[in-house]
Amino acid sequence: MRDKHERYKHFIPNLDLSIERNTANVPNDGRFHIVKVGTVVQSFRSRKLAEEKFRQLLAESGFKPELPPHSDKINPLDESTERYFMAKNIFWTEGPISRKKGGRGGRGGV
């Protein structure tokens, strides 16, 4: 059975701003707390209301996340997927199942 007061934390380190529930920084009362620079600013019964306030504070701060620099390197996930399909094709075209058994008749051959 899941605890009705599950731990939750949504944190933006650059602003030291978070929504927290059931963490060491906030009371264990089941509420969602907006924490700014280590101080509880406001508390909400629902995560939805806390996220609305969080987004408002975020917009007021003017914060823009830093995007990683553009790179022409191959995405590791794409490369891994491509290798998987190549290995699969090799197995099905050259593997033991593709080899035809010789001989007359069905099973066992002669």
Q: Kindly list the averaged pLDDT for each block of 10 residues, start to end, along the chain of length 110.
A: 74 92 93 96 96 94 78 73 80 64 58
Q: How many residues does the chain have?
A: 110
pTM of the model: 0.58
Dihedral, CA of residue 23, residue 24, residue 28 and residue 33, to nearest 10 = -60
Per-residue model confidence (pLDDT) at position 1: 41
Per-residue model confidence (pLDDT) at position 4: 65
Per-residue model confidence (pLDDT) at position 34: 97
Angstrom distance (rounded) from CA 53 to CA 93: 58
- Report H helices in 46-75: 47-61
pLDDT digits (tens, 9 = 90+) for 27-49: 999 999 999 999 999 999 999 99
Residues in a beta bridge with 42: 34
Residue where the block lists tokens 């002669």: 110
